[in-house]
A = this chain, B = another copy of it.
Amino acid sequence: MINENFLKLQSSYLFSTIASKVKAFKAEHPEVDVISLGIGDVTQPLPQACLEAMHKAVDEMSSSDTFRGYGPEQGYDFLRKAIIENDYIPRGVQLDMDEVFISDGAKSDCGNIGDILDTRCSVGVTDPVYPVYVDSNVMCGRAGDFVDGKWSNITFLPVSAANRFIPALPQEHIDIIYLCYPNNPTGTVLTKEQLAKWVEYAIREKSLILFDAAYEAYIQHDDIPHSIYEIPGAKSCAIELRSYSKTAGFTGIRCGYTVVPKDLGQLNALWNRRQCTKFNGTSYITQRAAEAIYSPEGKQQVRKTIGYYMDNAAFMRGKLTEMGYEVFGGTDAPYIWLKTPEGVTSWEFFDLILHKIGIVTTPGSGFGPSGEGYVRLTAFGRHEDCEKAMERFKEI
């Protein structure tokens, strides 16, 4: 009766293991003010423009004249239009409305996109990796079997300081490749030139790139692409996933979107059919909030919050570097990838700093074998907490 692929899932409950370790520590040391630089959730309030838009949308629901029932499964045109005009046209990318699909978040889309792809396709992911890419493929059988610590149908492409966090193109053919840039968890980026090599590969190999750009709003440097479609030809080989979670603090109100270009052939129609059948659109109120991100006030407010987080990142990068740590990321992404001291594993370092200075990080090895020897720090905390945390780091 059950889908037995689920039984193959590795119980890599990374965040629940962290949570239980933190809970135990807090119980033993109630006097310690534990600072979390662990989970990648935002802390700053929603932009004022979004709040106003939501109040207004709630009011519309109070009268039968302005009430909105079922919306389009693909999202409202007002939001799809705002996306194309603001996120794409200024970067030289033309999209049609029916290539943009609004959703309740990139995690849903990223998990569900596999519905329209053959379960026999081979898969490539960078290592370390956002676990959803792997687990969603395990669940439908596409990952194959877990043999000797590896999935038989998934190629892991290591990224670490050794290759300056630039994944090498695979030697073999891979059907579906997940790329996440700016990267979660490493906080590193690819330049246009580096990303163009992947587009070339995908076109040559007739592969599909699933490009997760959830963190694009954090990009500060001009040569870093915000969209894979800035690379010529990418529309014929890539689906792009976007999220408002980190852009505008939407982690709790849920909205993202996915671009499936018609140049990809049937995939556009298939995703439309998938969404029409298994999804009923995103909350109207949430979509109005998302639209407000693109208003002049919204843009300014979003820039301010992102500036706040990126100041945290720059501050922590600076302090940690001063203290002699080797750090990566954090210049175009809200994550800092910190190399643990020689001979200290990710979990050992996690335990050490939790117990010695009361700071929660995320062990890099939880994201994949090539994450061993790193921990991830997020810049999403309050600035005062980042300051306190850096003071405490001096004590190690």
Contacts and interface: CB of A to CB of B under 8 A. Distances in A.
A253 B116 contact: no
A71 B251 CA distance: 8
B3 A61 contact: no
A163 interface: no
Contacts of A376: none
Nearest to A265: B2
Contacts of A26: none
Interface residues of A, number: 72
Contact of A9 (B59, B70, B273): B273
B51 A111 contact: no
Interface stretch (A225-233, A279-287, A366-374): A279-287
Interface stretch (A40-48, A84-92, A189-197, A333-341): A40-48
B67 A107 contact: no
Interface string A1-20: 11110100100000000000
Interface in A182-240: 206, 208
Interface string A249-268: 10111100000000000110
Copies of this chain, whole number: 2
A244 to B, nearest CB: 12
A253 B67 CA distance: 11
A155 interface: no
Nearest to A140: B115
A46 B59 CA distance: 10
A220 B267 CA distance: 45
A352 interface: no
Nearest to A55: B58
B67 A3 contact: no
B48 A54 contact: no
A256 B105 CA distance: 17
A254 B273 contact: no
A281 to B, nearest CB: 7
Interface in A104-128: 104-105, 107-108, 110-112, 115-119, 121
Interface of A: 1-4, 6, 9, 39, 41-46, 48, 51, 54-55, 58-59, 61-64, 67-71, 104-105, 107-108, 110-112, 115-119, 121, 131-132, 135-136, 139-140, 175-176, 206, 208, 249, 251-254, 266-267, 270, 273-274, 277-286, 382
23 contacts: A1-B208, A2-B116, A2-B118, A3-B118, A3-B270, A6-B116, A6-B270, A6-B274, A43-B69, A44-B67, A51-B61, A64-B382, A67-B252, A69-B249, A107-B279, A111-B278, A115-B139, A139-B278, A252-B285, A254-B280, A254-B282, A254-B283, A283-B285
